[in-house]
Amino acid sequence: MNTSTRRLAPLAIAGIGALALAGCSGSSDDAGGSDGGAQSVTLMLNWYPYGEHAPFYYGVEEGIFEEHGIDLQIEAGQGSTKTAQAVGQEQVDFGWADSPAVMANVDKGVGIQSVGVFLQTTPSAVQVYADSGIEEPADLEGTTIAVSAGDAPTTTFPLYLEAVGLDESDVQQQNLDPAGKVAAMLSEKVDGLIGFAHDQGPTIAAESGRDMTYLRYSDAGLNFYSNGLIAPTSTIESDPELVDALVQATSEAFQAAAEDPAAAVAAMDGKDPQMPDAEVLQGQWEETMKLLETEATAGEVPGTNATADWEATIEVLSGAGLTAEGESVDTYFNDEFQPE
């Protein structure tokens, strides 16, 4: 598998890791309609818009997608599984979805592949109030933590506990839906919740007025890929130029949004009635920027994927029973569209 790309000089962003200084440039001709204008392309998100999605709105506002021949139409999603299925059924052109859900759907025969994961360090974390007295994993013993059965952070929670030296019985798990987890935290009916640190945490902090502490799975050495672009296998085969144009433009948009976080978040203003307020969006995007690389991709442009990271993801998720065992990387990921 060829996962090499042109390495660029790193850019330090508020101490959260290195990204490339230079912008990305597509290797293929820009996608476009038959008249040479921008081609309308629908992208379904994994959920209603929140801070993680700022690069898409900023990329549209700054004309990045248009420069690649794409008139990007952004649609809200209702979970990564539904997005993966909608892409597989070609109800939308492309999707933005969590890798565990994508891989599970591929295992079930849905005709999709990842064409680039951008959130490469898992946002999965145990989230607690900073003044709760829970400062390290050992402090979780005897606590009650809200979970959502079946999702990737909950299913891999036993692996996290094992990694930090705790037994599953050391923590009481209370099963709630995503909204219920946040409500339970705000009403202090639980000591913490499991979820994505770049999503629920900033929301809870804004509503409660209290700072949050994140016990990240990645800090315990447990990492797996999260959200990225997916395409129908039929489109990959029939229109690879369009797929490449979207990947290159998305990489540029993430780069630009990381260089100017405030402007990126401002581009989301008024775009969706269910969008969080600007303060929450800002916190969510700043937390997202911490997830854009691993040791294997440090200094590369956003969206560069490493074979080793995909192999580690397959090992973790198949070990947790979320995906099939023994599958190769190219079952799930097409590496023909690496950002340049």
- Does position 12 have pLDDT exceeding 70, yes or no? no
Give me the pLDDT at residue 216, please: 97
Do 312 and 180 share a structural domain?
no
Can you read off the two tokens belonging to residue 186? 């705000």
C-alpha distances out from residue 5 to 20, 58, 171, 254, 309, Å: 12, 24, 43, 17, 15
Do 166 and 65 share a structural domain?
no
Q: What are phi and psi of 83, to 5 degrees?
A: -65, -45
Do 275 and 313 share a structural domain?
yes
Mean pLDDT on 26-42: 68
Mean pLDDT on 230-253: 98
Quickly state the pLDDT bin for 17 (edges 50, 70, 90). Answer: very low
Do 228 and 333 share a structural domain?
yes
Q: Which domain holds residue 333?
A: 10-121+224-337
Report H helices in 191-239: 200-208, 233-238
| Cβ neighbours for 95, distance < 8 A, ≥ 6 positions apart | 43, 44, 45, 46, 77, 83, 84, 86, 87, 112, 229, 230, 231
Domain boundary among the residues 194, 220, 246 is at 220
Domain boundary among the residues 200, 220, 240 is at 220
Quickly state the pLDDT bin for 203 (edges 50, 70, 90). Answer: very high
Do 241 and 108 share a structural domain?
yes
Domain count, the chain: 2
CATH code for position 144: 3.40.190.10
Has residue 2 been placed in a domain?
no
Do 117 and 238 share a structural domain?
yes
Domain boundary among the residues 220, 244, 277 is at 220
What's the predicted TM-score (pTM) here? 0.88
Has residue 23 been placed in a domain?
yes
- Does position 222 have pLDDT exceeding 80, yes or no? yes
Residue 151 CA to residue 134 CA, distance in Å, equals 24
| Cβ neighbours for 56, distance < 8 A, ≥ 6 positions apart | 43, 45, 72, 74, 96, 250, 253
Do 86 and 106 share a structural domain?
yes
Quickly state the pLDDT bin for 24 (edges 50, 70, 90). Answer: very low
